[in-house]
Chains A and B, each alone.
Chain A
Amino acid sequence: MHIQYGKKLKSGPGLLGLYLLIFWAAVALAGFFLTPYAPEAYAGKAFLPPSAAHWLGTNDVGQDLLSQLMAGARTSLGVAIGAAFVSALLGALLGAGGTLVGGSVERLTVRMMDVGLVIPPILAAMLAAAYLQPGSFTLIGILAFFFWPGTGRLLRSQTLLLRESGPVTAARTFGAGRWYLLRRHVLPDLAPVLSAAMIHDARRAVFLEAGLAFLGISDPLAQSWGRMIQQALAFTYLDAWSWWLLPPGIAVSSLVLAFALIGTGLEETHAAD
């Protein structure tokens, strides 16, 4: 198993997902400094159709839609990656770590995950976001808070197996502490499960970030695909929807699809191990 990481995602849907993700990552990176216009600046007349100057046209107040789309990719991927990492960290510490420590700590973390799992994340995130008036970092925090119990549960079940495995038992007979066991023996073997959980969380984060922005309960200053869709919906009686509403819609769908495909690809290679 230790030599097969390079072989993953070599074929099929996983590879397509990877290409999609790379595309959106490139777009997001470009979104930092290569946008044709400042996303919030008034770049031209309102409701301009796509042209050489404005590839995706402009919106009702004359902002360049391509620039907004690129900036939205930045937010979307940033939140997705941030939420996935924080959720993975919490899941690993509380799910895997708690299981390794055992005793009352284990019981407490299991309870925490049980409680977390019964909270409907979309509703709760909406309420939390509405109260907290979030910026992007708060949003990452809120999403990770609702995602980690799932990740933690997954990691816990795997850790329960690893806890009784030979290498862990052996290391304990040399006097290894919990932290050493987690770092040296458990986390490396959790990597496949953890990577799948992170992809899953990232997918949900993209979706939820867009959703919250659509509902208007996110940072009003951040550029977001959800906000673009929400604004475009007000003007569906004009032709503008085809260059205003469709691109962010396609963007959200394809990024979610990219994560989903990678997740499927990873699962297949793991199943083959």
Chain B
Amino acid sequence: MLQIENLQVAYGKEEILHGISLTVKQGETLALIGESGAGKTTLGLSLLRLAGDTVTGSVRWQDRDLLKCTEEELRDVRGRLVALVHQNGGEVLHPLHTAVEQVAEAVRVHFPVTKEAAKAKAAETLAVVGLDADRHRLHPHRLSGGEQQRVLLAMALVNEPGLLILDEPTSSLDPPGKAQVLRILESTLRGRTNLLITHDLATAATVADTVAVLYSGRIVETGPCAEVFASPGHPYTRALLRAYPDMTTFKDIQCIPGHASSGVPGCAFHPRCSQRIEACAAEVPALETKTGGRAVACHRGGIVPMLEVAGLKKQLEGRTILQGISLTLYEGETLALVGESGSGKTTLAKTLMGLWPADGGTFRIDGKDGWARHQFYERIQLVFQNPKEAFSHRLNVGEIVREPLDIHNRGPKAERDGKVCRTLAEVDLPSTENFLRRYPHQLSGGEAQRVAIARALILEPKLLIADEITASLDAGVQARVIRLLMRLQDMRGLAILFITHDIALARKISDRAIVLKDGCVVETGLSSAVFTNPVHPYTRQLVEAAPRLHRQ
């Protein structure tokens, strides 16, 4: 078992890793993921004291502390007990030696064997990593990238080390080469203890048992790989996953706002985090253990639920419209609420917003009781299906967007008007005098809906209920409104409850989905799962009825 404790690595005065503690259990693979510059490679190399001017802490492997070994002992450890697979095979391999010679050299460094015996052993290992025998005697430049990577892997494996450190083994390969190397990794890594360093999430997902997310020299999340990828706990982990093009999700890739920068006080991710609080800038959050072997370093305990509804009931004129709805919507997430007309979607929205009284159930928004409506409208806002009907014909655009500020008496008039202009700019609308003076009947459908979104955003809510907001728009305008919502989600961490009957649209925008029928939740889960493999017959029916442009 590899046990890293409080590992600190610095180049000169600049500290790269700030106290990393990690455990890789015997026979398991841990994937260390993160953006470039997070310190992944430094971490891998520093375990063998190959990186860093000053390295403190402890790295325990098989009863010895690698950081306390002498240089002599380390030479024995490197390549025999602990082996390293470098990235960029083409640069690491010696151009004047053949593949098999280079692998054999790794044997002869540690064992007093003849050249032939070493070469035989090397050939054997090369076969294991899937390099054809006729390519063993080629020089590195004659080998493809995938083959070079396999030679490197063979060099690491040839002495059968107990611990393997793999630094970006697949990142420079094309998809077929990557797939091939991944297959080999899957079989060769089994039974060994491995530390896999990668920014390629698919590689991690394929071979790793557990995963650790590194950001600016600190671990922000660890846990079983499948679980972390299915429901990330840290905002950064989610951002990484969202930026990764995945075959199973339909939502577009989303960028992480801002840049990673060093020397940030408090939580290093807080300038880019949409759910930050004051404590985030002041203190570094500790990695706190949760259930199921997961741990998250976040002052808010991970991604916070913005909306928690439990057992919501509503009756109208003696008819039960909502029969105990429960749902959770996390910060910065889109939850698609789908179902046909009359399934209770709009009733749910109106009841949550307080337009209609509820007949039972609890409801928390950002952790506070929703029924109390305390500082409520600054947290949650609703956008209606038909914006023009929701505008007063007597107010112009400027007055419409300013209305929530007027209601809450926010600041002096000039400040309110400035805010109106900024919010209009955020939804791609001009804030010219001419536009501000327009009346609702002078707006196009798309403009009106964006004015409505601006009006809903002006109080800076963290949660937006979008009730069929694109139902009356044509596809082109709809696309624009949807892109706008996604951008707002990136920038503000807006949580969106997206109410729609359009399945095709729902899966484009949502992270998770909830299917409503006759006021009951019939199915809920990740959008990719709900819409590709619907379980409930009603969901299947909805998916089959979804619009298609190409006949099947």
Question: A residues near B, CB below 8 A?
Answer: 1-2, 165-167, 169-177, 180, 185, 188-189
Tell me the residues in window 384-407 of chain B with beta carbons closer than 8 Å to chain A beta carbons.
384, 386, 388-395, 403-404, 407
Decide yes or no whether B475 CB sits under 8 A from chain A.
Answer: no
Bound Cα distance from A47 to B418, whole angstroms: 75
Decide yes or no whether B381 CB sits under 8 A from chain A.
Answer: yes
Tell me the residues in window 244-275 of chain B with beta carbons closer than 8 Å to chain A beta carbons.
none
Some 9 contacts from A to B, beta carbons below 8 A apart, are: A166-B388, A167-B395, A170-B390, A171-B407, A172-B354, A173-B353, A173-B355, A174-B403, A174-B404
Nearest 5 CB-CB pairings of A with B: A175-B377, A166-B390, A166-B389, A167-B392, A174-B404
Which B residues touch A170, using CB under 8 A? 384, 390-391, 455
Decide yes or no whether B85 CB sits under 8 A from chain A.
Answer: no
Q: Are B407 and A176 in contact (CB under 8 A)?
A: yes
Question: B residues near A, CB below 8 A?
Answer: 353-355, 373, 376-377, 381-382, 384, 386, 388-395, 403-404, 407-408, 439, 455, 459
Bound Cα distance from A171 to B373, whole angstroms: 15
Q: Are B377 and A173 in contact (CB under 8 A)?
A: yes
Q: Which residue of A lies closest to B404 (CB)?
A: A174
Q: Which residue of A lies closest to B378 (CB)?
A: A175
Bound Cα distance from A110 to B377, whole angstroms: 31
Q: Give the Cβ gap from B1 to chain A, nearest Cβ, in Å.
A: 56
Q: Are A175 and B394 in contact (CB under 8 A)?
A: no
Q: Give 5 A-B pairs besides A171-B407, A174-B404, A177-B407 with Cβ atoms closer than 8 angstroms.
A: A169-B384, A173-B377, A174-B377, A174-B403, A189-B394
Q: Give the Cβ gap from A102 to chain B, nearest Cβ, in Å.
A: 10
Which A residues touch B389, using CB under 8 A? 165-166
Bound Cα distance from A124 to B455, whole angstroms: 52
Q: Are A188 and B403 in contact (CB under 8 A)?
A: no
A169 and B355 contact, Cβ closer than 8 Å, known pairs A174-B377, A175-B376, A185-B392: yes
Q: Are B381 and A173 in contact (CB under 8 A)?
A: yes
Q: Are A175 and B390 in contact (CB under 8 A)?
A: no
Q: Are A166 and B407 in contact (CB under 8 A)?
A: no
Bound Cα distance from A165 to B389, whole angstroms: 8
Bound Cα distance from A167 to B391, whole angstroms: 5
Bound Cα distance from A189 to B381, whole angstroms: 25
Bound Cα distance from A171 to B394, whole angstroms: 14
Most B CB within 10 A of own CB, among A1, A169, A174, A175: A174
Which A residues touch B376, using CB under 8 A? 175
Q: Which residue of A lies closest to B459 (CB)?
A: A174
Which B residues touch A172, using CB under 8 A? 353-355
Bound Cα distance from A167 to B388, whole angstroms: 9
Which B residues touch A174, using CB under 8 A? 377, 381, 403-404, 407-408, 455, 459
Which A residues touch B407, using CB under 8 A? 171, 174-177, 180
Q: Which residue of B lies closest to A181 (CB)?
A: B407
Q: Are A188 and B391 in contact (CB under 8 A)?
A: no
Which A residues touch B393, using CB under 8 A? 1-2
Q: Are A166 and B386 in contact (CB under 8 A)?
A: yes
Q: Which residue of B lies closest to A169 (CB)?
A: B355
Q: Give the Cβ gap from B46 to chain A, nearest Cβ, in Å.
A: 55
Q: Which residue of A lies closest to B354 (CB)?
A: A172
Most B CB within 10 A of own CB, among A2, A167, A185, A188: A167
Which A residues touch B382, using CB under 8 A? 173
Which B residues touch A173, using CB under 8 A? 353-355, 377, 381-382
Among A169, A180, A189, contact of B390 (Cβ-Cβ < 8 Å): A169
A166 and B391 contact, Cβ closer than 8 Å, known pairs A171-B407, A173-B377, A174-B377: yes
Bound Cα distance from A248 to B388, whole angstroms: 53
Q: Which residue of B lies closest to A165 (CB)?
A: B389
A175 and B391 contact, Cβ closer than 8 Å, known pairs A166-B386, A169-B355, A170-B384: no
Q: Which residue of A lies closest to B452 (CB)?
A: A170
Q: Give the Cβ gap from A103 to chain B, nearest Cβ, in Å.
A: 10
Q: Are B394 and A188 in contact (CB under 8 A)?
A: yes
Q: Give the Cβ gap from B354 to chain A, nearest Cβ, in Å.
A: 7
Which B residues touch A177, using CB under 8 A? 407
Q: Which residue of A lies closest to B394 (CB)?
A: A2
Bound Cα distance from A180 to B392, whole angstroms: 14
Q: Give the Cβ gap from B381 to chain A, nearest Cβ, in Å.
A: 7
Bound Cα distance from A177 to B409, whole angstroms: 12
Which B residues touch A1, using CB under 8 A? 393
Q: Which residue of A lies closest to B381 (CB)?
A: A173
Bound Cα distance from A189 to B408, whole angstroms: 22
Bound Cα distance from A193 to B536, whole angstroms: 53
Which B residues touch A180, using CB under 8 A? 407
Q: Which residue of B lies closest to A175 (CB)?
A: B377
Which A residues touch B395, using CB under 8 A? 167
Q: Are B384 and A175 in contact (CB under 8 A)?
A: no
Bound Cα distance from A173 to B355, whole angstroms: 7
Q: Give the Cβ gap from A142 to chain B, nearest Cβ, in Å.
A: 36
Q: Which residue of B lies closest to A164 (CB)?
A: B355
Q: Give the Cβ gap from B331 to chain A, nearest Cβ, in Å.
A: 21
Which A residues touch B391, using CB under 8 A? 166-167, 170
Bound Cα distance from A24 to B126, whole angstroms: 113
Q: Which residue of A lies closest to B373 (CB)?
A: A175
Which A residues touch B403, using CB under 8 A? 171, 174
Which A residues touch B388, using CB under 8 A? 166
Which A residues touch B439, using CB under 8 A? 2
Which B residues touch A188, using CB under 8 A? 394
Q: Give the Cβ gap from A1 to chain B, nearest Cβ, in Å.
A: 6
Bound Cα distance from A180 to B391, whole angstroms: 16
Bound Cα distance from A170 to B386, whole angstroms: 11
Q: Which residue of B lies closest to A1 (CB)?
A: B393
Q: Give the Cβ gap from A55 to chain B, nearest Cβ, in Å.
A: 49
Which A residues touch B373, using CB under 8 A? 175
Bound Cα distance from A177 to B394, whole angstroms: 19
Which A residues touch B353, using CB under 8 A? 172-173
Most B CB within 10 A of own CB, among A166, A171, A185: A166
Q: Are A175 and B355 in contact (CB under 8 A)?
A: no
Which A residues touch B377, using CB under 8 A? 173-175
Most A CB within 10 A of own CB, among B376, B390, B408: B390
Q: Give the Cβ gap from B434 to chain A, nearest Cβ, in Å.
A: 17
Which B residues touch A167, using CB under 8 A? 390-392, 395
Which A residues touch B386, using CB under 8 A? 166
